[in-house]
Amino acid sequence: MKAYFKKHVLQFKRPSGTSRGVLKTKETYFLILEKEGKMGIGECGLLKGLSIDDRPDYEDKLQWVCDSIDLGAEKLYNECIEFPSLQIGIETAFKSLYSEDPFQIFPSEFSRGNESIEINGLVWMGDKQFMKSQIAEKLEQGFGCVKMKIGAIDFDTEIELLKSIRKNFGPNEIELRVDANGAFHISEALEKLNKLSDLQLHSIEQPIKQGQWEEMAQLCETTPLPIALDEELIGIFSEEKKLQLLQTINPQYIILKPSFIGGFKGTDSWISKAEHLGIGWWITSALESNVGLNAISQYTFTKNSTLPQGLGTGSLYTNNVPSPLEVNNGKIKYNPALAWDFNV
């Protein structure tokens, strides 16, 4: 078997604002396997500044994976415990290699084009007018669930934007989620959650910075608005620590980004623990190209969640890998009539 990797720099169509700054480009890596005339492709979806494996030796470790490819999927996966984005790349590349079609990673009614997955529309941070235009665009596109990133502009302005949606659309028409990316200070968090809860939101992601377990536990216990942990899960590798985190904080939801938490196997582990404790969950992509988004979407469909998932990031780039993934009326679908063009 031959293995090598290619780095690809994705270009955002328009700069995308988060509480940690504005994104204009996104580096990603493709792990490519070749054996007996067949090819397998997996994406190692690293996100600078957020992934736990954003470290100077990343490419060295990826090269080691290529050089050691004959160890097989399981051993390589276990050797990359501190590199979750390499783990999902390894899992996907091997599944791809041994599939009849290299892009049918988890064959199902979704990958055959017969079923779709409901997703949330994503509204990026920016000035009031920019955010307002994005909201209008998402509603026009038929999304039944909209997720708005907050915490970068004035809080009162964000409240006004949310109020303007609620004025026209009740909670039965549009489900609203907000994502603070840890932007709230602990001293003001509960007051802000109270104000947000008046708007009948579905949930808020990561209101305070990760790593403050006791403070987050207290918030989850007293909050009038369901809290979903996101960044909190990053860097938790052991099964014991995962259980400890969930039992300590006891959140209403957890959000699972496979590229950040050990791929599909890591996501399975979080899901089983969350369900055992009665904690809800949904799955989100982490700005991967269509290669990673395809694998994560196919995996997500097999989990049979009834909640809208966070898989609407494929249209963000000018140079994404052309694929059969389509988003229509707030749902992502795989259209087998369209072709892949993996030429990066």
Catalytic residue numbers read 149, 257
Closest C-alpha to 105, from 282, 288, 271: 288
Torsion of CA 102, 106, 111, 115, to 10 degrees: -170
Q: In what order do the strands lie in the sheet with 331-334?
A: 116-118, 331-334, 325-328
Q: Is 183 exposed, middle or buried (0-12, 13-18, 19+ CB in 10 A)?
A: buried
Cβ contact 123:147 at 8 Å? yes
Q: What angle in degrees, to the nearest 10, is found between the helix axes of 84-97 and 58-67?
A: 30
